[in-house]
């Protein structure tokens, strides 16, 4: 899962709060084999900048139906309760289209979601913005398309600091690139520290 040629066929992003990150992580790690047995391929964990116990977890999957059945099963609900999940999880199933993220350390990151007029045209514009990202300090990035709303795109950017991410988000060059690529909605942005990743 290190480049676009080796992308997983699908992924799920799960958002929920936990009572204690370390306690949650212990249960999550202990259940790795259960995920592997149900065709999960790896994970990448994000902790909200303003609340480290608010999580957004990216899980790559090989078979969507099997993964959906497992993640909504009574066994997993019991594990979630054991792990101290403090609210109802939110699920977003996506198709990964680009991936060039830093996997081996924790980094400031932002998740940006917006709608686009034409996905293929947007993706061409996204690819053309590689130099723009590099010039603005973006050292890792990924893009996903919602399975439920084909016009919804979810982009992930990593940098060495939150200030770098915010500066890039405010840049006129980014706004112009997004407009030219056919972005049709105001972006929704959340900031995280991302990492704790593993490929199974």
pLDDT for 3 equals 45
Mean pLDDT value across residues 19-39: 96
Residue 85, pLDDT score: 95
Helix (H, G, I), strand (E, B) or coil at 49: coil
User: Token digits for 75?
Assistant: 């066994």
Q: Give dist(CA 193, CA 44) in Å, integer.
A: 11
d(CA 134, CA 117): 25
Q: How confident is the model at residue 1 (pLDDT cuts 50, 70, 90)?
A: very low
CATH 3.40.50.620 correct for 96-195: no
Which CATH number is correct for 4-95, 3.30.70.100, 3.90.1150.10, 3.40.50.300, 3.40.640.10? 3.30.70.100
pTM, entire model: 0.94
Q: Are 40 and 47 in contact (CB under 8 A)?
A: no
Q: Give the pLDDT mean for 12-37.
A: 97
Identify the band that residue 5 occupies on the pLDDT scale cut at 50, 70 and 90: low
Give the model confidence (pLDDT) of 44-64 as tens digits: 999 999 999 999 999 999 999
Q: Is the Cβ–Cβ distance between 195 and 107 less than 8 Å?
A: yes
pLDDT per residue as tens digits for the range 115-174:
999 999 999 999 999 999 999 999 999 999 999 999 999 999 999 999 999 999 999 999
- C-alpha 12 chain-centroid distance: 8
Q: Confirm whether 4-95 and 96-195 share one CATH topology.
A: yes
Report the residue count for the chain.
200
Q: Answer whether 67's CB lies under 8 Å from 147's CB.
A: no
Assess contact for 44 and 197: CB atoms under 8 A: yes
The domain segmentation of the chain, as residue ranges, is 4-95, 96-195
74-108 residue pLDDT tens = 999 999 999 999 999 999 999 999 999 999 999 99
């Amino acid at each position: 899962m290190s480049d676009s040629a080796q992308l997983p066929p699908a992924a799920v992003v799960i958002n929920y709060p936990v009572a204690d990150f370390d306690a949650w992580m212990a249960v999550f790690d202990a259940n790795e084999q259960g995920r592997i047995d149900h065709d999960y391929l790896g994970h990448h964990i994000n902790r909200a900048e303003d609340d480290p116990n608010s999580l957004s977890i990216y899980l790559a999957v090989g078979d969507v139906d099997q993964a959906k059945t497992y993640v909504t099963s009574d066994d997993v609900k019991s594990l979630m309760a054991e792990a101290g999940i403090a609210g109802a999880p939110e699920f977003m199933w996506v198709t990964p289209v680009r991936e060039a993220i830093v996997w081996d350390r924790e980094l400031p990151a932002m998740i940006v979601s917006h709608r686009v007029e034409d996905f293929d045209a947007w993706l061409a514009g996204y690819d053309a913005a590689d130099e723009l990202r590099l010039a603005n300090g973006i050292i890792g990035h990924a893009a996903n398309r919602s399975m439920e709303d084909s016009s919804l795109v979810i982009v992930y950017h990593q940098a060495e600091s939150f200030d770098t991410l915010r500066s890039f988000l405010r840049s006129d060059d980014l706004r112009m690139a997004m407009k030219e690529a056919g972005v049709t909605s105001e972006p929704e942005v959340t900031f995280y520290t991302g990492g704790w990743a593993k490929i199974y």
